[in-house]
Amino acid sequence: MLDIKDLNSWLPREVVELYQKEGIRELYPPQAEAIERGILEGKNLLVSVPTAAGKTMLAELAMLKAALNGGRSLYIVPLRALASEKQAAFSRFEDLGVKVGLSSGDMERRDEYLGRNQIIVATSEKADSLIRNGAQWIQDLSVLVIDEIHLLNSSNRGPTLEMTITKLMRLNPDMQVLGLSATVANASEVASWLGADLVQSGWRPVELKEGVICDGELHFPGETISISSSRNDLVDLVEDTMDQKGQILIFESSRRNAEATAVKLAKVVSKRDEVQSQGQVQGQGRVSSRLFEKVLATGESETGKKLAECIKGGVAFHHAGLLSEQRAIVERGFRSGEIKVIASTPTLAAGLNLPARRVLIRSYKRYEGARGMVAIPVMEYRQMAGRAGRPGLDPKGESFLMAKSEPEMRDLMDHYVHGEPEEIFSKLAMEPALRTHLLSTMATGFATNADDLKKFVDSTFYAHQQDAWHLDATIEKVLGFLIDSGMIESDLRPTPLGELVSRLYIDPLSARIVVDNLRSKEKIKITDLTLLHLITMTPDMDLIYIKASDGWVEEFIDQHYGEFCPEDNYDWMMREAKTSALLLDWIFESEEEKIADRYGVGPGDIRRVAETAEWLMHSAGRLSEHLELGVTFRIHQLEKRIHYGAGPDLLSLLDLKGVGRVRARRLHRAGYTSIDKLRDADVANIGEIVGPKIAEKVMAQLKERP
C-alpha cells in the first residue's frame, strides 16, 4: 500500500493535507499502481477499474498537479447532471486557489471566460462545440480526462466523444490524456489509441457479490441463501435489505415499470413502518414530510404528485421524465439515507455517485424498436451491478438479477455473473455522425483538402481498430451531400454557410431541411405552427411517440393542413404533428400538468422538448439571417416564446429576473402590460400579485434600467 503522505514527493503539502482531512490515509492498490506508472509525471493512462475503486481521485491528483504548475485541465463527462456533480465535487479545491468552471448551455458560445479556470468540466458535446466555435483556451490544455470512456461504444454519444478526443489530442500534442472506465473489455486497444499505459484491475474497496434471485432464494456462485418468502421476490428482497438497515437500487426496463414498482413498494414500506416504534415513525414522518413538500414545490404535475406520495413511504422513482430538480431531490434523499429504495431506468447507472447496499436488475431486457425486447449487454449489466456497496458504510455489496425459473436462473448466472463484458467498437461509420463531424473537421481547419481529411480520419479510434478505407464510400456520399447543400466547395473548403452550420452544432441535414422549406414556403402562409413543424422535421429533434389514444393527431393535421411543411412519411408526420402541437400548447401557456396529461409525457420531457426546440429555432433564425430568407425577426420572437413558454404579449415582462410565465401573466391581467407601467407601480401592489420578495427584486431591477 502507498500512504497518502507519500504523495508529498509529487504534490504540495496542502494538497496531501486536504485528502488527509477527508479521511484518506492510504491509496487503493489500483491508485498506487497508477502513481507508480507515472500519472503524476504526465504519463497518459487508461484506468479500467470497478466503480468506487478511486478513478476520480486519480484524475483529481493529475489535475491539481497541473493547476498548481500553471496548467489547465478539461474533464469530459457524458451527462449534464454528472457535469454539475463533478463541478460541485471539484469546487473544494478552490481553497487551494484552484478555480473550477462548468461549461454548459448555448452551443454557439465559445465561453472564453472559462479560460480563467484551472479545471473545466463539460460534456463531450459541449467540448466539441467549444472547438467548433474557436475557444482559445481549449488549445492550451495540460490534462484531458475522459470519464466513462467506454461510451465510445455508444451509437448516440460515441462518435462525438471519439472526434472530440481526436481533435483535442491534435490541438494539444503534449497534453496528458487520462481515460477512466469501469468496464472496458478491449482496454489495451483503447489505451493504444490514446498512446497510454493501461492500469486494469478487478479490485474493489467493498466486496461485490453477484447473484440471481429466484423463488425466495439468493443464488451466488457456489452458495444459495434463503430469505423469508411471501411468494414475491421483489418485496422479499426489499424487506430483507431494510432488515439489514441497507438501501436498494432497482433497475427497471421502462419509466412505467419504475413508477409502478415505486408505488407498490411505498405501500410495503409504509406498512412496515407502522409496526416500528412510535418514535421512529414520527422521525420518518418528519423526513418524509420535508421531502414531500420539496417535490410538490417543483410543480404539481401528476408525475410529481405520484413521486411525492411514494417519498412518504421512503421510496422514490427516477427517470428522464422527471424535472431535473425532482431528480436532484431524489438523489440527495437517497445519499442522506432518507429514501431507502429507488426504482430507476438505467440512466442512473451512467456515472452518478449513488451507491447502495444492494442492486436489483429486475428486467435484463430492453425494448429496441424493430428488434423488440433484447437482452442488455454484459457491459451494461456490470455498470448497474457496480453500484452495489458503499465504501465505509457497507461490509459488502450485493447485486441480483431476477429469474422466474431455475433454467432462467442458470442462464443468467452463466451469461452475466460469469460472463465477460463485450469489446467496444467505434460507431463513427454511421452516416449521420460523419455528416456533422466531417463538416466540423473542415470548418475548424483540421482538414483543408482530401489528403488532410484522410490523415485526420486515420487518427481516429475507428481507423485504429480497422482499415479506414471501409469508410471511403460513406465519406464520399457525405461529401457529395455537403457540396450539394452549399456547405463546402468541391475542393472541400468550407463555405460561410458550412461554417455557420458547424458553429450552430446542428446536423447539416437539419440545416438543409430548414433552408429548403423556408425557401419554398410562401412567406404569407408561414404561421407559428409552420415554424414549429419545420424544426420537428429535423433529425436533431426527439419526437414524441404516437399512442393508440392519439386519434386527435390526425384531426389536428387535417385542421391545419395548409400550415404544415411537406412530409412524405405519414408515420413521421404524426409524430412531428404531435410534437408541434405540444410546443404550440407550451407557447400559449397551457399548464404543464395539462400538457403532460394530454401528450402522455413527464414534466421533464416537456422541458427537454422545449429546450431542444429553442436551440433549433435559434439555429433556424441564424440561417434565415445569413441567407436573407425573410423570416428572421419572426423566428427569433418564437425562439423567445419557446424559452419562456409564453404568449407574445408577455415578452417584455419576461426579461425581468424572477418573473416566469405564470407571474408575468398575473401582472399582465392586473394591467401591468409593459415595463413602463411596472415602473410607475407601487411595490405593495406588485407584492400582492407576485409576492413581496419578488416584487422588491423586480422594482430593484427597474431602478437599474435606464
* pLDDT over threshold 80, residue 110: no
Q: What share of the chain in percent tops pLDDT 90?
A: 72
Q: How far apart are CA 71 and CA 83, in angstroms?
A: 21
Q: What is the pLDDT of residue 124?
A: 95
pTM of the entire predicted model: 0.92
Q: What is the pLDDT of residue 140?
A: 95
Give, in order, the Cα–Cα distances in Å from 251 to each of 321, 364, 527: 15, 9, 44
Q: What is the pLDDT of residues 677-705, one digit of tens each?
A: 888 888 888 888 988 888 888 888 888 87
Q: What is the pLDDT of residue 659?
A: 85
Q: What is the phi/psi pair of residue 248, to 5°?
A: -135, 135
Q: Would you list the DSSP string of 229-293?
A: -SS-HHHHHHHHHHHTT--EEEE-SSHHHHHHHHHHHHHHHHHHHHTS-HHHHHHHHHHHHHHHH
Of residues 292 and 315, which shows the higher confidence score? 315
Terminal-residue alpha carbon distance, the chain: 65
Looking at residue 432, which CATH number applies to its domain?
A: 1.10.10.10
Say whether 214 sits in a helix, a strand or coil: strand
Residue 232 and residue 277 in one domain: yes
Residue 139 in any domain: the answer is: yes
Q: What is the pLDDT of residue 566?
A: 92
Residue 318 and residue 254 in one domain: yes
Q: What share of the chain in percent tops pLDDT 70?
A: 96
C-alpha cell at 650: 408577455
Task: Give the structural domain span for 662.
Answer: 649-704
Q: What is the pLDDT of residue 278?
A: 47
Q: List the one residue out of 409, 380, 358 whose CA is nearest residue 216.
A: 409
Query: Dihedral of the CA atoms 254, 256, 259, 262 (nearest 10)?
Result: -70
* pLDDT over threshold 80, residue 543: yes
Q: What is the pLDDT of residue 288?
A: 67
Residue 372 and residue 255 in one domain: yes
Q: What is the pLDDT of residue 279?
A: 46
Q: How far apart are CA 127 and CA 456, in angstroms?
A: 18
Residue 549 and residue 681 in one domain: no
Residue 630 in any domain: the answer is: yes
Q: What is the pLDDT of residue 398?
A: 97
Q: How far apart are CA 259 and CA 83, in angstroms?
A: 26
Q: What is the pLDDT of residues 183-242, one digit of tens each?
A: 788 999 999 999 999 999 999 999 999 999 999 999 999 999 998 777 799 999 999 999
Per DSSP, helices labelled H in 505-602 are 508-520, 528-536, 552-559, 570-587, 592-599
Boundary (domain end) residue, out of 488, 505, 522: 505
156 DSSP 8-state letter:
T
Residue 422 in any domain: the answer is: no
Residue 337 and residue 243 in one domain: yes
Residue 626 in any domain: the answer is: yes
The answer to whether 356 and 242 are in contact (CB under 8 A) is no
Q: What is the pLDDT of residues 547-558, one digit of tens each?
A: 999 999 999 999
Q: What is the pLDDT of residues 490-531, one digit of tens each?
A: 999 999 999 999 999 999 999 999 999 999 877 778 999 999
* pLDDT over threshold 80, residue 274: no
Q: Cite the beta strand spans of 312-451 per DSSP E.
A: 315-318, 341-344, 358-361, 365-367, 373-375, 396-402
Q: What is the pLDDT of residue 275?
A: 60
Residue tagged 427537454 (cell numbers): 608
356 DSSP 8-state letter:
B
Q: What is the pLDDT of residues 447-497, one digit of tens each?
A: 999 999 999 999 999 999 998 888 999 999 999 999 999 999 999 999 999
Contacts of residue 690, Cβ cutoff 8 Å, sequence gap at least 6: 659, 663, 666, 667, 698
Q: What is the pLDDT of residue 82?
A: 87
Confidence band for 106, pLDDT divided at 50, 70 and 90: low
The whole-number average pLDDT for the span 349-377 is 85
Boundary (domain end) residue, out of 170, 200, 230: 200
Q: What is the pLDDT of residue 116?
A: 93
Q: How many residues are there in the chain? A: 706
Looking at residue 386, which CATH number applies to its domain?
A: 3.40.50.300
Looking at residue 641, which CATH number applies to its domain?
A: 1.10.3380.30
Residue 36 and residue 146 in one domain: yes
Residue 213 and residue 361 in one domain: yes
Q: Would you list the DSSP string of 580-607?
A: HHHHHHHHTT--HHHHHHHHT--HHHHH
Number of domains in the chain: 5
Confidence band for 655, pLDDT divided at 50, 70 and 90: confident
The whole-number average pLDDT for the span 429-447 is 95
Q: What is the pLDDT of residue 411?
A: 97
The overall average pLDDT reported for the chain is 91
Q: List the one residue out of 540, 606, 545, 536 whose CA is nearest residue 564.
A: 536
Sheet holding 358-361, edge to edge: 223-226, 217-220, 207-214, 396-402, 358-361, 248-251, 341-344, 315-318
* pLDDT over threshold 70, residue 603: yes
Residue 253 and residue 283 in one domain: yes
Residue 338 and residue 481 in one domain: no
Boundary (domain end) residue, out of 389, 417, 445: 417
Confidence band for 264, pLDDT divided at 50, 70 and 90: very high
Q: What is the pLDDT of residue 281?
A: 44
Residue 567 and residue 489 in one domain: no
Q: Strand 73-77 relative to strand 143-146: parallel, antiparallel, unpaired?
A: parallel
Residue 403 and residue 275 in one domain: yes
Confidence band for 613, pLDDT divided at 50, 70 and 90: very high
* pLDDT over threshold 80, residue 300: no
Residue 638 and residue 569 in one domain: yes
* pLDDT over threshold 70, residue 412: yes
